[in-house]
Structure 1
Amino acid sequence: MQRLVSFLDSTETFYDQLLKYCNVLAPLKQIHSSLTTSGFIFQNPHLGAQLIIKYAKYKEPDNARSLFNTIHNDKPNSFLWNTMIRAYATNGHCAETLELYSLMRRSGISANNFTFPFVFKVCASKSLILEGKVVHGDVIRAGFHSDLYVEAALVDMYAKCGQTDDGCKVFDKMLMRDSVSWTSMITAYEQAEKPKEALVLFQKMQQDSIMADSVTVVSVASAVGQLGDAMKAQAVHGYALCNAFLEDLCVGNSIVAMYAKCGNVKKARMVFDRMEERDGISWNSMLSGYTENGQASEALLLFDEMQDSGCKPNPVTALILVSACAYLGSRHLGRKLHEFIINSNTKIDVTLWSALMDMYAKCGDLDTAESIFNDIHPSERNVSSWNVLISGYGMHGQGEKALELFTQMQEEGVEPNHITFTSVLSACSHAGLIDEGRKCFADMTKLSMKTEVKHYACMVDMLGRAGLLYAAFDIIKQMPSSPNDSVWGALLLACKIHGDTKLGQIAANNLFQLEPEHAGYYVLMSNIYAASNKWQEVGKLRQDMKNKGLKKAAAFSVIEIGKEIHGFHTADQVNPYWEEVYKKVESLAVEMKMAGYVPDLSCVLHDVEEEDKEHTLNYHSEKLAVAFGIMKMEPEMAIRVTKNLRVCNDCHSAFKLISYIYGRKIIVRDANRFHHFKDGTCSCKDYW
């Protein structure tokens, strides 16, 4: 008998060593066959478990399950069940894990603290909160609700299922917490867009002397990015440096993204440049940082570096670059990028198609945007596709088309969302469709759609532009939440258009409190006072601006000619073509006057001498850009100009005449919308 035991022990050791060093599937199957033939596998569940683990490693769940089914009835114990559940869970087989867990319970085998964490893992991976809560009940009944590993898995499950409150209840009751529990809860708050709670928890974690790991730092950096707190960003960066976490690629990527979201692109680039290793996420984070902070040109330059580095762009890269081209309003760059996306065989899903539509619309090429929309199969269009084209129609002053598409969208069974209504209301505002806009606003209530601040801003803008200033003011007073700067800004602009000083003062006073560093609001109110000959008030505002170090944003216009982009400032004498452009502008002024043009001197600052006002009007940045286009572009080509500010009344009148005199199509994209000038008229119908 003693010899038999010794033989069995040596055989077990032999097979154990074989399995330990077996790293190829074919020999593993031979060992499995030998163990089965000898019958030894039925006598030793440990070896069976080893085989199951190996099969799981080689992505052979069917072989693992077949083996399990062969041996688990012979030696019923939780060890084998847990091994098989673990094999399924670690390989992402969610349904099989839950099915086996259920079978285990029905077979009378008790689950334990090794079983539950793996079951919670698969519930978390698929956000199966109902199944997770059922298993949570099993944990309580089995008496494992105070086990550290089970509690940590529970917190993680609730966190990843978006149930932060339930996760917090489990977390608060834990007698002991490890770094995994803390990190799970911090990540839960960060992903639920509760950055303040995430940072408070991180602070408590440090007070409890729990060492954070790289995963914790990634979540904390994301939380700081959500807050946009530049000071906290530096603190997190310092913490990562001191603890050598920046060697981790994920941490480096998160620090780059954090600085970018806090508006510190310079620091983001510094961290990016010092990274020893970069992946696609690294490049995308930096590209996104440039684009989101208004540095689209730098994003495109960085993309060239990305290609030189050998890092292959992915669909996310394409989305970011499309957004950069949309920001620049460059149709040439947009088309070039579109060609690159197609030639590089980048997968174009409906999200990327929608982004391309948006880019073309913002580059003034609405026809191509429509063409892309029509090429998307109706079954593949989502609400974003419809929203983009509705918004495009609105930007280009085609309010009626926007409303038609809105109706068609609903007829095809696509439910509008809050962005849809923002786009429709904006389209109605730009086209002066007051009754239609009011109806859409009322329809939001019928559809149980929550009205947000941006919807009220659209209504104020729509009513204000139409001269219904006090109706717009009533809308503000009825708002369920405090109006923000976009709401008061819309009212102030309307007061400027219609010359209402009293209501303008109310709007301006609120804006000066909300955005004390925004020079544009001071300038708008100053213009309202100047139009009413209230020079004393103008002087006070100018002095306030001077005391605060605020300056009016300089007007700047760009024109795209072929592959080149040319920029002009007002009264520009830096552009290399300025002298010949000035001559062209002066000849245009003569031709326009012969056609009945009368300069609108109200578009010039009051402190300019009367005899100089007309001369100043001639050299507005958009006039210089259009004159340059007439000089350099073929007559059949449309002149496309982008201006950083709202186009002034005088330039608007001038471009209508120029389009008639020269038979040219002129497309101007200003800060608010597009103006298409042709044959002496504008697409906005003088309503903007």
Structure 2
Amino acid sequence: MYSKLSRIQDAFRVFEEIPIRDYTTYNSLMCGFGSNGFYEEAVVIFDQMLESDFFPNVASISYAIRACGELGSLDRGSLIHDCVIKNGLYSDVPIVNSLISMYIKVGRLDLGRQVFDDTPKKDIISWNSMITGYARSGYWVEAFELYISMRKFENLDPSRVTFLGLALACGQAHNLDLGKTIHGYLIRSGLMSDVRLGTSIVDMYSKCGAVKFARSVFEEDLPEKSLISWNSLLAGYSQNGYNHEAVLLFQQMFVDANLKLDAFTIANVVPAYANSADLQGVRSIHSIIVKNGLELDGDIVLGTAMVDAYGKCSDIEAATSVFNCIQNPSAVTWNVMISGYVLNRHAEQGIPLFLEMLNSNVFPDSITMVMLFQSCGELGSLKQGSMLHGYCLSKGFDSHATVNNAMIDMYIRCGCMKSSQVLFNSMPHKNVVTWNTMLGGYVKRGHSAMALKLFLCMQLENMHKPDLVTMISIIQACTYISGGRGGEMVHGFALKLGLDSDTLVANSLVDAYAKNGLIIEARSLFDQMDRLRDQSSWNVMIAACGVNGKGEETSSLFLQMEEDGFEPNSITFVSLLSSCSHSGMINEGCHYFDLMVSKYGIQPSLEHLTCIIDMFGRAGEQLSRSAPDKCGYHTLLSNLYASGSKWDEAAKVRKIFEDGKLTKKRGWSLAMM
């Protein structure tokens, strides 16, 4: 009675007061412990039962096996399995199902499958356990094969749990077509009203990147939405780069859904704020964590997400503070902290943190090594990079392509092309990133001929198809060779590979034509791009006209750019000012400088100021002679000196006004008219 009422302590007191215990007494308490989650106690009572020569019934054996699975005790579970075999209980389906489930929970899918294959009798629970076990472990092919076998050889209809496992497998496999088929079956069967199934379909679409489908199911097919439903859609937005939508959904959850947000909710919205560089948003999430009593020190996933977010939002002090609060940080936590230092130009902190990681008995992974090689590359520290190379060799990290690629990049950044080439040649397994890293290194170091030679080797090997990064490196290499016809040559190659329709490749080709003096070809390609054009396309074309002395054309391009809805950025104005300087267009240059600051709110950088100084320098600083009655040049020059903290020079120019030699026109506003 006490066991059925879940009053387990009272049940145990009665049990201990019984002087002579029998078979029924043990089984009653065993079932009470097992059904109420007292797994350690269930195993102890099971052992006492065997020692007292009372053989447990089917329910007690099932609960004991389940307890071993929950406790992760493979050894105890195996002993009970032997007991089942010796006593001829393999024909009992509930016991077999418990064994399958136990092996799956302790991470031994192979042993679970062995039990599944050996048992003469199976029911839908047996099949569901294996299908779900495979799906959760990422073995989606095996999950699908089992389902097909069940339908083909067994007279069993799939249940809700079957479809939960299949939906999970589709998400793991990113198999959108099969996922849609399962969704359609659930609709026809009238099962979409089930909250768990509906949520599993939302999760499946999210994992397949079909976020619009996920949102549609969430809004139209889920009359009741659980926290898991909301979290599944939120994870879909966050993991597929829909940062704005993730933030809006989170705000809706926070305000409208009347839900108690959990750590999973927070961990999924934090990256959305981080990827948007929204520091204020990350801080607001931090306050929500504190108010809701969620602990960063004990929750590794949540704590790691916050460290990563602060790092990406350039608040390295906050990232360090959160990191120091986390108890027993995992390798992933250490990795994001090292990455934060690299992102925030504190690469020198990477190696000391790595040593601290080793002292904390946390073994690094391949990502750790990649981050550290990035640190050494940023610092140009060949000595530390070489030492890390040795560490990788001793620990077997040299078998990871990503680590080798990072090492090649480190040697290139440190100016040691010979070491990068030796490492490249020694790699038994290369991927397209390996080739791209080496190609990019040659181009950056001015070895264009070597880059083209390596590209030819890549083609002859015929194992890795060139991608966009490859193409851009080759375009840059061809810009400086082939007697000025490099742009045409590489353009033909891009057409052959079908990469000419990519915006980045097209922009690089326009730039290559322009640098080879082929401005007509550059403009022709730019016009052909049409809808492929992005902001960078306009910047490249404006710069192309500028370096080729087409100053008036840059002005018309700028107007067209604004008309097409592209807002100029800092780079646009560098190109415009440079063009005006080269073309002697002083009035236009002053206009664009003023437009940049007053209309678009872009603060002048060193590059902008250099362009203005160059423009005035080319004009001989004869502005007062050419336009003695105009004060605009003097105002601009005064502001220019002030922005460079040259206060004495700025004061001299301003003194002209004070002496009455020039009068600045009074400004008017609509409010005065």
User: Are the aligned partners of 1:257 and 1:285 in contact in 2 as well (CA < 8 Å)?
Assistant: yes
Structure 2 residue 63 is the aligned partner of structure 1 residue 45: no
User: Are the aligned partners of 2:195 and 2:222 in contact in 1 as well (CA < 8 Å)?
Assistant: no
Deviations 1:550-592 (CA, angstroms, capped at 9, x unpaired): 242599xxxxxxxxxxxxxxxxxxxxxxxxxxxxxxxxxxxxx
Q: Give distance in 2, aligned partners of 1:328 and 1:28.
A: 52
User: Are the aligned partners of 2:62 and 2:98 in contact in 1 as well (CA < 8 Å)?
Assistant: yes
Match of 1:282 in 2: 302
Q: Give distance in 2, aligned partners of 1:488 and 1:605.
A: 30
Q: Give distance in 1, aligned partners of 2:227 and 2:525.
A: 48
Structure 2 residue 426 is the aligned partner of structure 1 residue 408: yes
Structure 2 residue 388 is the aligned partner of structure 1 residue 372: yes
Match of 2:649 in 1: none
Q: Give distance in 2, aligned partners of 1:532 and 1:161.
A: 52
Map 1:224-623 onto structure 2 (within 5 A).
224-241=237-254, 242-245=256-259, 247-262=261-276, 264-275=278-289, 276=292, 277=294, 278=296, 279-292=299-312, 295=313, 297-298=314-315, 300-307=316-323, 309-377=325-393, 379-381=396-398, 382-395=400-413, 398-409=416-427, 413=428, 415-445=429-459, 446-466=461-481, 467=484, 468-495=486-513, 497-506=515-524, 509=527, 514=532, 516-518=534-536, 522=538, 524-543=540-559, 550-553=568-571, 605-606=614-615, 610-611=619-620
TM-score by length of 2: 0.71
Aligned-partner residue type, residue 357 of structure 1: F
Match of 2:595 in 1: none
Q: Give distance in 2, aligned partners of 1:443 and 1:318.
A: 39
Aligned-partner residue type, residue 251 of structure 1: T
Q: Which 5+ residue runs of structure 2 have no aligned equivalent?
A: 1-20, 575-609, 623-635, 645-673
User: Are the aligned partners of 1:373 and 1:385 in contact in 2 as well (CA < 8 Å)?
Assistant: no
Query: Identity over the aligned pairs, expressed in percent?
Result: 13
Match of 2:665 in 1: none
Cα drift, residue 64 of structure 1:
2.4
Cα–Cα, structure 1 residues 549 and 159, in superposed 2: closer, same or farther, change >3 Å? closer
Deviations 1:574-619 (CA, angstroms, capped at 9, x unpaired): xxxxxxxxxxxxxxxxxxxxxxxxxxx9996546663459xx9xxx
User: Are the aligned partners of 2:311 and 2:319 in contact in 1 as well (CA < 8 Å)?
Assistant: no
Aligned-partner residue type, residue 206 of structure 1: E
Match of 2:659 in 1: none
Structure 2 residue 136 is the aligned partner of structure 1 residue 121: no
Structure 2 residue 230 is the aligned partner of structure 1 residue 207: no
Cα drift, residue 14 of structure 1:
2.6
Deviations 1:267-314 (CA, angstroms, capped at 9, x unpaired): 34422331231333234324434555xx4x31x122232145455543
Aligned-partner residue type, residue 403 of structure 1: Q
Match of 2:4 in 1: none
Cα–Cα, structure 1 residues 30 and 288, in superposed 2: closer, same or farther, change >3 Å? closer
Match of 2:107 in 1: 92
User: Are the aligned partners of 2:30 and 2:42 in contact in 1 as well (CA < 8 Å)?
Assistant: no
Cα–Cα, structure 1 residues 131 and 605, in superposed 2: closer, same or farther, change >3 Å? same
Cα–Cα, structure 1 residues 506 and 182, in superposed 2: closer, same or farther, change >3 Å? farther
Cα–Cα, structure 1 residues 301 and 499, in superposed 2: closer, same or farther, change >3 Å? farther
SS of equivalent to 2:272: helix
Cα–Cα, structure 1 residues 28 and 220, in superposed 2: closer, same or farther, change >3 Å? closer
Cα drift, residue 422 of structure 1:
1.2
User: Are the aligned partners of 1:526 and 1:541 in contact in 2 as well (CA < 8 Å)?
Assistant: yes
SS of equivalent to 1:357: helix
Cα–Cα, structure 1 residues 527 and 119, in superposed 2: closer, same or farther, change >3 Å? closer
Match of 2:150 in 1: 139
Within the candidate set 158, 164, 186, 1:152 is matched to 164
Deviations 1:408-441 (CA, angstroms, capped at 9, x unpaired): 22xxx2x111211211221232244445433433
Cα drift, residue 455 of structure 1:
1.4
Aligned-partner residue type, residue 397 of structure 2: E
Instruction: Say which is worse superposed, 51-60 or 137-146, in terms of deviation.
Output: 51-60
User: Are the aligned partners of 2:448 and 2:480 in contact in 1 as well (CA < 8 Å)?
Assistant: no
Instruction: Say which is worse superposed, 89-98 or 474-483, in terms of deviation.
Output: 474-483
Deviations 1:150-199 (CA, angstroms, capped at 9, x unpaired): 232233344435555444434432322433333334434433xx32x243
User: Are the aligned partners of 1:159 and 1:184 in contact in 2 as well (CA < 8 Å)?
Assistant: no
Match of 2:592 in 1: none
Map 1:161-176 onto structure 2 (within 5 A).
161-174=173-186, 175=189, 176=191
User: Are the aligned partners of 2:488 and 2:513 in contact in 1 as well (CA < 8 Å)?
Assistant: no
Q: Give distance in 1, aligned partners of 2:95 and 2:355.
A: 56
SS of equivalent to 1:247: coil
Match of 1:179 in 2: 195
Q: Give distance in 2, aligned partners of 1:239 and 1:608.
A: 57
Q: Give distance in 2, aligned partners of 1:236 and 1:508.
A: 39
Cα–Cα, structure 1 residues 27 and 516, in superposed 2: closer, same or farther, change >3 Å? closer
Deviations 1:39-98 (CA, angstroms, capped at 9, x unpaired): 554xx433433443344444321232133224444x943222223323333333322211
Q: Give distance in 2, aligned partners of 1:16 and 1:431.
A: 77
User: Are the aligned partners of 2:247 and 2:269 in contact in 1 as well (CA < 8 Å)?
Assistant: no
SS of equivalent to 2:124: coil
Cα drift, residue 35 of structure 1:
5.9
Aligned-partner residue type, residue 245 of structure 2: K
User: Are the aligned partners of 1:428 and 1:434 in contact in 2 as well (CA < 8 Å)?
Assistant: yes
Aligned-partner residue type, residue 207 of structure 1: E
Structure 2 residue 93 is the aligned partner of structure 1 residue 78: yes
User: Are the aligned partners of 1:456 and 1:476 in contact in 2 as well (CA < 8 Å)?
Assistant: yes
Aligned-partner residue type, residue 448 of structure 1: M
Higher strand share: 1
User: Are the aligned partners of 1:72 and 1:81 in contact in 2 as well (CA < 8 Å)?
Assistant: no
- Aligned residues, how many? 548
> Alpha carbon RMSD of aligned pairs, Å?
3.9
Q: Give distance in 2, aligned partners of 1:320 and 1:418.
A: 26
User: Are the aligned partners of 1:189 and 1:198 in contact in 2 as well (CA < 8 Å)?
Assistant: yes
User: Are the aligned partners of 1:358 and 1:369 in contact in 2 as well (CA < 8 Å)?
Assistant: no
Match of 1:574 in 2: none
Higher helix share: 2
Q: Which 5+ residue runs of structure 1 have no aligned equivalent?
A: 1-9, 556-600, 625-688
User: Are the aligned partners of 1:240 and 1:246 in contact in 2 as well (CA < 8 Å)?
Assistant: no
Q: Give distance in 2, aligned partners of 1:510 and 1:370.
A: 48
Cα–Cα, structure 1 residues 288 and 507, in superposed 2: closer, same or farther, change >3 Å? farther
SS of equivalent to 1:448: coil
Cα–Cα, structure 1 residues 301 and 315, in superposed 2: closer, same or farther, change >3 Å? same
TM-score by length of 1: 0.69
Q: Give distance in 1, aligned partners of 2:500 and 2:114.
A: 51
Aligned-partner residue type, residue 86 of structure 1: S
